[in-house]
Every structure is written in structure tokens, then in C-alpha cells.
Amino acid sequence: MVYKRPFKCLKTVMANLVTVFVVMGIIVSGFRIGADGLNMNYYFVESVVKDIVNRALEDDPSLAAPLLRMHFHDCFIQIINILTRSKIEDTINLPFPNLNAFDLIKMFGQHGFSAQEMVALSGAHTIGVARCSSFKNRLTKIDPNLNSEFAKTLSRTCSDGDNAEQPFDETRDDFDNLYIDALVSGNGVLASNQTLFTSPRTRNFVNSYTKPSLVLLGFSTSHGQNELA
Ligand SMILES: *[C@@H]1O[C@H](CO)[C@@H](O)[C@H](O)[C@H]1NC(C)=O
């Protein structure tokens, strides 16, 4: 029953958010929790962790954002682990750079995924690169769905040969919403990526996933009803 995990993972994120806010509250008010009434071991570990976080945050309050990101990242990795065990990973990694939305919906449908889930899965693949060989055919003619400035970027990448790598978005190692944003701006690397926004059958889902947290929620809600294995 792997499908329960995304919920647990989201709960952990929420708990971590609360912890971070509590830690921040402690800093702001100067309030210190006493050891009385608390289990000493637990208190010791907690206080060491809090001290480290407190000191780091005092030195650099802007650390709060990366801390939150880290929690989301762990959550994301956990979800990806679930996906890796599922057959869908085989499907999404198949190199079909030119499939249109209709074929993609059909292919994912055969694995029991809806069009919305397909877009959520794609949005979670914000990390990674494509090789020039899988998108160079897009550059031979004018493609109205391809941003003309981005076409120049792709051409520059391909000037280094078929194996040259193009990240799916500007932050190739980060889980964020830039890949989804890229689709909205016509900056999808592969035709099969851009088609998710071009096609009226999936465009609204792309629009609804322009916030990364919603992609995560898309997982938990869409898999609440399905078993993956
Ligand atoms: C883009 O499409 C390819 C081929 O269909 C797929 O393997 C890849 O995961 C997609 N990229 C993203 C970021 O979803």
C-alpha cells in the first residue's frame, strides 16, 4: 500500500514547517524552553539541533528559505523513490521525444494514469537534461510552439554536437516549478514536453501546476485512489 506515503511525506513537510516557525518564534521572542518535565535525552538532541539551527539562522536569516526547500526536496525524493519502483518510471523515461498529447495520454492511460497525473509526473521531472539528438529536428523549421529566443538557445547547444546536453529548465538540479514555467513560455526542450502546454487536453493542468507545491499535492490526491504496483 505504497500510496499512503505521499500523504505521510506531506505531513512531515507540514510538521517541519511548524518546527521552522517555532524555531523562528523562539529567536524572535528570545524565549527558551526549560528542561523540566521533558525527557532528558530527547531534550538534549532537540536542543542541540535547535541550537545549531538557531545559530545558523541568527547568522543568516535567509537560510530559512533553503531549509524549507530542503524539506520539500526530501519529500520529493521520497515520492520519486515510489515512482522509480513503479512501472510508470519505465514509461516516462522512454525516449519518445516527438509524441503528441494524444499518444502520451494513451500511453500513460495504459498504465492507469490520467492526463492530469501525466502532467504532474512530467512536472516532477524538472531535474535533468535532454541531448541535442532528441530535439534537433525541432530546429529545422519554424515551430510556432517554440519560443524563437529559446530556439536560438537550443541551436547554440546543438553547435556542440548530438550529445550536447540541454537542461529541462534553468535549474537542472533543483526541484522547482521552472520546468512548468518553461512550458508556459514556449521553452519546453522536447516536442513531447511542449505538447503538454500546446494541447488543449492538458494545457489547464500545466497552468494549474505553476506552483511546485501543487505538483506535490497532485501526486498525493491523484494517487490516493490508485495503487501504483
Ligand atoms: C520530456 O519528454 C521526454 C520524452 O517523452 C520525457 O522522457 C521527459 O521526462 C520529459 N521531460 C520532462 C521534464 O518531463
- Which pLDDT score, from 0 to 100, does residue 39 have? 43
- In the chain, what percentage of residues exceed pLDDT 70? 50
pLDDT at residue 118 tops 70: yes
Higher pLDDT, 140 or 79: 140
The model's pLDDT over 211-224, given as tens digits with 9 standing for 90+, comes to 655 555 555 444 44
Residue nearest to atom 10 of ligand 1 (CA): 193
- In the chain, what percentage of residues exceed pLDDT 90? 30
Higher pLDDT, 90 or 99: 99
| 144 labeled binding residue | no
Grid coordinates standing for 189? 526542450
205: how many CB neighbours lie within 10 A of its CB?
A: 21
Higher pLDDT, 125 or 49: 125
Task: Band the pLDDT of 31: cuts 50, 70, 90.
Answer: very low
Mean pLDDT of 150-158: 97
pLDDT at residue 139 tops 80: yes
Instruction: Determine contact, residues 128/92, Cβ cutoff 8 Å.
Output: no
**Residues lining ligand 1, judged by CB closer than 6 Å?**
92-93, 96-97, 99, 122, 125, 168, 179, 190, 192-193
Which of 192, 197, 198, 209 to mutate to test ligand 1, by most ligand atoms within 8 A of the CB atom?
A: 192
- Which pLDDT score, from 0 to 100, does residue 78 have? 62
Domain boundaries, the chain: 98-223
Instruction: Look at the alpha carbons of 105, 111, 114, 120 in this order and tell me if their dihedral is positive or negative.
Output: negative
- Give me ligand 1 centre to Cα 52, in Å: 40
Distance CA 103, CA 159 (A): 31
CATH code at 98-223: 1.10.420.10
Of 129, 179, 120, the C-alpha closest to 154 is: 129
Question: To 5 degrees, how large is the angle CA 20–CA 26–CA 27?
Answer: 90
Which of 92, 126, 133 to mutate to test ligand 1, by most ligand atoms within 8 A of the CB atom?
A: 92
